[in-house]
A and B are shown apart, each in its own frame.
Chain A
């Protein structure tokens, strides 16, 4: 167990380290030429540019800048935006909770819809019910998030005016009002991902249901619902859990689009606006937090799998 844990931890840390370098240099690539000249403006004298470059540490060699940035990041300091002169951690502290809430609600919706439907389709595999469940889901999956999101926004503002309110209110201020804003975007994130969960649950359940221990349970007279939902589902879960790790990636992609459609001031929209204002310092910080959250989510999934399926540890 400990070996498994430390292996996964070291792997996640290594990936994060390499990603941090990638993100740092991509952030620098965002600004063509000398960032200090861009900040100083077109009419600045060479002395001002040099002074700004010195203040920001931009006159050091690039690997030195990266190491400085990395050590600061380990201390929890993600730098200050030279454009808005706000601390990046402050900006992220405002944006990240929105994105986190959105992705967790979206994931919850995908799982709550996806797993029961997948189980239902598996127990009736090949029947009309099976197809009646799968075909609509496949069609939903073919609709890209920005089309279904726009459509949902249209329907809600037209017909369900009580369901959706366009202005974002923090959860701590008014929980109901917050949910009123977040439910629709969360559905727009969750529903397109549900078919993936359904497919994986279905195929994994079908495999488990054909195994001898299920037949044994049946001959022992255990209730059918117990066999399906306790014995089989538990054995069928590990691939579904691994898929959830993969879904985190889709959720991050969904953040960019859904936050843009519903005008939510979250991290995805923050990255886009930092890119358009060429704020390399802020975009680096935001991308690092996004990537870190994604890696952390995958790590949690990896750590959860052995609790569901002990066989993993024996390999």
Chain B
């Protein structure tokens, strides 16, 4: 016999914990790290001990100290402030790039899968062609035409990522099209756009979410690499890639100048990577079985 007290619905906190979408210690650590970067990016200007571009905030190339926790760079700028400030372009670039790829790739994939025929062969050719270009060459060519900068570099990476989303969206759309509820909607006289939006899109969301999570880390790494090559946000603005490349010459004498931005950046990429892996394991039934094989 259960009493009324026992049947009481779980408290708000308990429900929240039960609904928490991410399971596992590693995944939660990764998620908290990403949240930390989001907070740093949002609060950046208010919490940095020094202005990130202030030249001569301390002596040049001073090692980590109580005043400058991460030391200072060759121009005496406070590294901690710069590492915090660089969180914003790092996150923004990943979000812009994946956003572009997700929207454009999904539209291409759904249209190709839904309409079939000429649409499909035309769009698939286009996607195959994008796939056939070495990724960095394509990105650098796009930047060469549009010019460098945070938005343009992110756009270039987004274009490079379009084929991945388009292929997944097309494949999933084709399998959903076989289902009877799509025919039912057609028989009810629903329009094509309505079916695509209300039936196809929600049903292919899961693989797209996985793809998004995985691509956040590759996009972030690609942006940092482009920024390392000088195609990112313009100096003196802080950015992990350009901070590493501009202080490379001091690597031998003052390793911390390179180490701190590098660590900050690698931790972010690792966190994105882990989240992507966990989401794939939890949402993709196929990978769950193969992981146990």
Number of B residues, CB within 8 Å of A:
37
- The answer to the question of A113 belonging to the interface, with a C-beta cut-off of 8 Å to chain B, is no
Contact A154 B255 (CB under 8 A): yes
Partner-contacting stretch, out of B6-14, B105-113, B197-205, B220-228: B220-228
Does B262 lie at the interface of the complex (its beta carbon under 8 Å from any beta carbon of A)? Answer: yes
Enumerate the 6 nearest inter-chain pairs by beta-carbon distance, A residue then B residue, closest first: A253-B136, A29-B145, A252-B134, A26-B141, A249-B134, A144-B221
Q: Name the A residues within 8 Å of B25 (CB-CB).
A: none
By a CB distance below 8 angstroms, the chain A residues around B140 are: 256, 271-272, 275
Residues of A within 8 A of B136 (CB): 252-253, 256
* B132 interface neighbour in A15, A143, A158, Cβ under 8 Å: A15
In the complex, what residue of chain B is closest to A278 when comparing beta carbons? B144
B290 adjacent to A147 (CB under 8 Å): no
List 21 A-B residue pairs with CB atoms under 8 Å apart, sorted by A's residue number.
A19-B132, A144-B224, A144-B225, A146-B224, A157-B252, A158-B252, A206-B290, A206-B293, A248-B134, A249-B134, A249-B135, A252-B135, A253-B135, A256-B229, A257-B225, A260-B228, A272-B230, A275-B144, A290-B137, A291-B137, A295-B132
B170-226 CB contacts (< 8 Å) to partner A: 217, 221, 224-225
Q: Could you list which residues of chain B lie within 8 angstroms of chain A, going by C-beta atoms? A: 128-129, 132-137, 140-142, 144-145, 217, 221, 224-225, 228-230, 241, 244-245, 248, 251-252, 255, 258, 262, 265-266, 269-270, 273, 290, 292-293
| Contact call A154/B252, Cβ cutoff below 8 A | yes
Among residues of A, the one whose C-beta sits closest to the C-beta of B217 is A142
Name the CB-closest residue of A to B262.
Answer: A147
Residue of B nearest to A253 (CB): B136
Q: How far is the CB of A243 from chain B (nearest CB, A)?
A: 14
Of residues 221 through 279 on chain A, the ones whose CB sits less than 8 Å from some CB of chain B are 248-250, 252-253, 256-257, 260-261, 271-272, 275-276
B146's nearest neighbour on chain A, judged by CB, is A29
* A290→B134 contact, CB < 8 A: yes
Min CB distance A164 to B, Å, is: 13
Whether A30 is near chain B, meaning CB under 8 Å from some CB there, is yes
The answer to whether A153 has its CB under 8 Å from any CB of chain B is yes
Which of B135, B228, B258, B266 has the largest number of chain A CB atoms within 10 A? B228
Whether a CB of chain B sits under 8 angstroms from the CB of A37 is: no
Please indicate the chain A residues that have their CB under 8 angstroms from the CB of B141 in the complex.
22-23, 26, 287
Q: How far, in whole Å, are A310 and B178 apart by their CA atoms in the complex?
A: 33
- For the complex, give the distance between the alpha carbons of A206 and B293 in Å: 7
How many Å from the CB of B56 to the closest CB on chain A? Answer: 26
A18 within 8 A of B: yes
A145 interface residue per 8 A CB criterion: yes
Q: Which of A203, A248, A253 contacts B290 (CB 8 A)?
A: A203
Interface-central residue, B144, B217, B241, B266, by most chain A CB under 10 Å = B144
B270–A150 touching, CB < 8 Å = no
A104 within 8 A of B: no
> What CA separation (Å) do A29 and B248 show in the bound complex?
31
A276 vs B262: C-alpha distance when bound (angstroms): 26
Q: In the complex, what distance in Å separates the CA atom of A142 from the CA atom of B142?
A: 25
Q: Are A287 and B262 in contact (CB under 8 A)?
A: no
A248's nearest neighbour on chain B, judged by CB, is: B134
A15 to B126, CA, bound (A): 10
Asked if A211 is at the interface (CB within 8 A of a chain B CB), the reply is no
Partner of A15, one of B129, B145, B230: B129
Contacts of A295 in B (CB 8 A): 132
What residues on B are CB-neighbors of A145 within 8 Å? 225
Contact B135 A143 (CB under 8 A): no
In the assembled complex, which residues on chain A have CB atoms less than 8 Å from the CB atom of B269?
142, 144
- In angstroms, Cα B217 to Cα A261, docked, is 22
Q: With a CB–CB cut-off of 8 A, which chain A residues contact B241? A: 146
> Once bound together, how far apart are the Cα atoms of A250 and B228, in whole Å?
17
The yes or no answer to A210 lying at the interface (CB within 8 A) is yes
| Bound-state Cα–Cα, A223 to B203, Å | 49
Q: Known contacts being A30-B145, A153-B251, A283-B144, is A144 close to B134, with CB within 8 Å?
A: no
A69: CB under 8 A from chain B?
no
Contact A146 B266 (CB under 8 A): no
Closest to B271 in A: A142
Interface of chain A residues 156 through 180 with chain B (CB within 8 A):
157-158
Bound complex: CA A150 to CA B265 (Å): 14
